[in-house]
Structure 1
Amino acid sequence: MTHFRRDIARFELIPASGGIFEVYANGDKIYSKDETGVFPKAADIITKLESL
């Protein structure tokens, strides 16, 4: 959160079950633990967000 604190207008956490962890930016899914089987490192998410 601190990396993009000036750029984030809205941040929302949506509870789910079954170990699902997904990250969306501007309505597009940029990461899915369900698809990869791996919980992401913060640096991986930052890299994906920077490339948008």
Structure 2
Amino acid sequence: MCEPRFILISMTRQPRLEIEYCTQCRWLLRAGWTAQELLTTFTVELGEVALIPGTGGVFDVRLDGDTLWSRAEQGGFPELAELKRLVRDRIAPDRDLGHTDRRAST
């Protein structure tokens, strides 16, 4: 008797945003909250958000492989408004972020 065979194809939806966070520092909640905020803001523009466990104090945000924020390079964590602008500038440059944009221009 033949058994059905399934081929799993990994399909990545674009654009893909990755948040790599340090498990030793217990930054999962921060990474999850950041992902939730970005998915809420960019509901149709983002194809996928991935949380990637890491170590050594890492907290990096990448979009399609390009680093938008690195805790090691920029020091500290990104302000959410700034991170939203960085993402917007890459995936929806004509989009108005409402109060987030108005706060940045003052």
SS in 2 for 1:2: helix
Offset from partner CA, 1:6-42 (integer Å, 9 cap, x none): 1111111100112211111122111101111111111
Unmatched 5+ residue regions in structure 1? none
In the other structure, the counterpart of 1:25 is: 63
Structure 1 residue 43 and structure 2 residue 81: aligned?
yes
Query: Which segments of structure 1 move beyond 4 Å, counting only runs of 4 or more?
Result: none
1:10 match:
48
Partners of 1:39 and 1:18 in 2: CA distance: 15
Bigger relative CO (Cα 8 Å, ≥ 6 apart)? 2
- 1:4 positional shift: 0.5
Secondary structure of 1:12's aligned partner: strand
Q: TM-score, normalised by structure 2?
A: 0.46
State the structure with more CA Rg. 2
Identical residues among aligned pairs (%): 33
Point out where structure 2 has 5 or more consecutive residues left out of the alignment: 1-38, 91-106
Taking structure 1 as the reference length, the TM-score comes to 0.86
C-alpha RMSD of the superposition: 1.0
